[in-house]
Amino acid sequence: MTNAPLLSFFRERGVPLRELAPDTVTPARFNDPPTEHLATRRTCGLFDFSFMGCIELWGRESLAFLHRLQTRNLSHLAQGRLVYTLLLRPDGTVLSDATVWRLGAERYWLFVGRRADVAHVSSLAAGYPVFLADRSSDQAIIAVQGRRARATIACCLSGVPAALPYYAFASARFDGAECIMARLGYSGDTGYELVVDAGRGAMLWRALLNAGAAHDIAECGFDAADSLRIEAGHILFSRELAFPVTPCELGLTRLLDFYRDPATGVAALAARRWQEPRQHLAGLMIDDESPQPVATTGGESTLPVAGIARPTSVCRSPIFGRLLGLGFVSPADRYPGTRVKLAGGGRARVARLPFYDPARFLSRRVP
């Protein structure tokens, strides 16, 4: 079973689990999801992100292979830094989002949301003198999110760096073993992800929970992570990427590098780079009187028409006290304030993303 050490730990406690995709399982909730959500915003939340796939790759052509695989130019990526990136299909649509971590001169980690993406990466590596190792089940990944995150971590780990830049990582120690500490936050708040040997995952979880008890740290499941990331305007592979969509339609053209040997799919995008996008990802402020709409997923490819939005993610925001969503709108409806109907019923107003922390300051602030 995926990330068995932590899942066994949660299953023994009776924690309900959720399958996000085949072989991709995580806790659904520990208590009341809105309470977990608010604890993360106010103090700190603890999340199991061990469902992610992790590939370690090394070899003299590792950089060349990564430049074929994903869309960012990594030539100047320093050791100890990571980047957010995209994996594309040959037609330029987004297969998955990912992060690339530079461990050494010719050694990297690639983290993806689905374990199934590991097979895609392996298939593209054929013909390159690189070595790949699937580390997905070898390590636990615990996300600590919120303003008390660093203080909580410092109580459990030794060698915690005095300052860690956003999208950087460093080595610390837990229980005598190495623990990688990375600065990034899916929640939209200050946050870290801790990568530790799988056998120490449950022990680290307990230590973090005990260290944060005085500050009301909360164990959090996917339901809270989902509403947090919707507030922060972050996409999810099983929602916004559930059907073919391009980086431009997602508002992620900043992740494309057109000025080197192109990655898989980039040439297809370059050939039509001046064409108007067929749809745009937007925030949706859903009317209070509307029923909670059903998000459209499962490979549906119908494009939104003028005046009608296709919601992909919906939550009742504990911070804003109303229904919020992410979804695709037609080019004519992409402007904030535009009124739209929702596919499946209800009405909404188009909004700029993110809803929470529009300046994107909180995740980058000095802890």
In terms of Cα–Cα distance, which of 72, 135, 75, 69 is closest to 106? 75
- The CATH number corresponding to 4-52+137-231 among 1.20.1250.20, 2.70.70.10, 3.40.50.970, 3.30.1360.120 equals 3.30.1360.120
User: Do 54-134 and 276-351 share a fold?
Assistant: no
Tokens of residue 48, six digits: 């199991």
Which pLDDT band holds residue 1 (cuts at 50, 70, 90)? very low
Residue 189 scores a pLDDT above 90 = yes
Residue 12 has a CB neighbour count (10 Å cut-off) of 9
Question: Cα(172)–Cα(193) distance, rounded to whole angstroms?
Answer: 12
Report pLDDT digits (tens) over 124-167: 998 899 999 999 999 999 999 999 999 999 999 999 998 899 99
Tokens of residue 52, six digits: 């992610």
Q: Where is average pLDDT lowest: 152-166, 227-241, 260-274, 336-350?
A: 260-274
Locate the domains of the chain by residue range: 4-52+137-231, 54-134, 276-351
Per-residue pLDDT, averaged over 337-358, amounts to 94
Class of the domain covering 54-134: alpha beta
Spell out the residues 6+ positions from residue 124 whose beta carbon is closer than 8 angstroms to its own.
Answer: 65, 68, 69, 264
Helix axes of 117-124 and 62-69: crossing angle, nearest 10 degrees: 120
What percentage of the chain has pLDDT greater than the value 90? 77
Tokens of residue 187, six digits: 């929640």
Per-residue pLDDT, averaged over 263-291, amounts to 88
Phi, psi of 172 (to 5 degrees): -130, -170
In terms of Cα–Cα distance, which of 121, 68, 78, 133 is closest to 102? 78
Judge contact between 268 and 243, C-beta under 8 A. no
Q: What is the pTM of this model?
A: 0.94
The residue count of the chain comes to 367
Q: Which fold has domain 276-351?
A: Elongation Factor Tu (Ef-tu); domain 3 (2.40.30)
**Dihedral (Cα; 305, 307, 311, 312), 10-degree rounding:** 30
Q: Where is average pLDDT lowest: 91-95, 118-122, 174-178, 247-251?
A: 118-122
